[in-house]
Amino acid sequence: MRIEIPPGTLYMLILKTLARYGPMHGYGIADQIQQVSDEVLQVEEGSLYPALQRMLVKGWVLAEWGQSENNRRARFYRLTAAGRKQLAAEISEFQKVTRAITRVIQPA
């Protein structure tokens, strides 16, 4: 079963993926998130590319052209220092929210 990525967490997922595996192209990021989440999370292309553009605007990632694993020209995204800071902030925020939600829904 595939479920939609909760709103607002896509940036975090992308940032984390780049932080863990280093520079990656768009397709790679989407593929990676899908694999790591055991096919639960599917990144729609319709959200991925606008999100990447937004992150470029914000300066969280840099894009540069390079060679892909099958020797094709591909655009690689690399985390910046600002991106790393953003990732930390998003993770702590996310954990705060999940802990709070858990407290609310756990059985008494």
- The site for another protein (CB under 8 A) is made up of 25-27, 30-31, 44-46, 49-50, 52-54, 56-59, 63, 65, 68, 72-75
- Please answer whether residues 66 and 50 qualify as being in contact, where contact means their C-beta atoms are separated by less than 8 angstroms: no
Shortest spacing between CB 103 and another protein, in angstroms: 35
Residue 12 or 30 with smaller CB distance to another protein: 30
Shortest spacing between CB 67 and another protein, in angstroms: 12
For CA atoms 33, 36, 37, 39, the dihedral sign is positive
68 φ, ψ (degrees, to nearest 5)? -85, 175
Residue 20 or 54 with smaller CB distance to another protein: 54
For CA atoms 31, 75, 91, 20, the dihedral sign is positive
Helix H or strand E encompassing 65: strand 61-67
Shortest spacing between CB 88 and another protein, in angstroms: 19
Residue 72 or 103 with smaller CB distance to another protein: 72
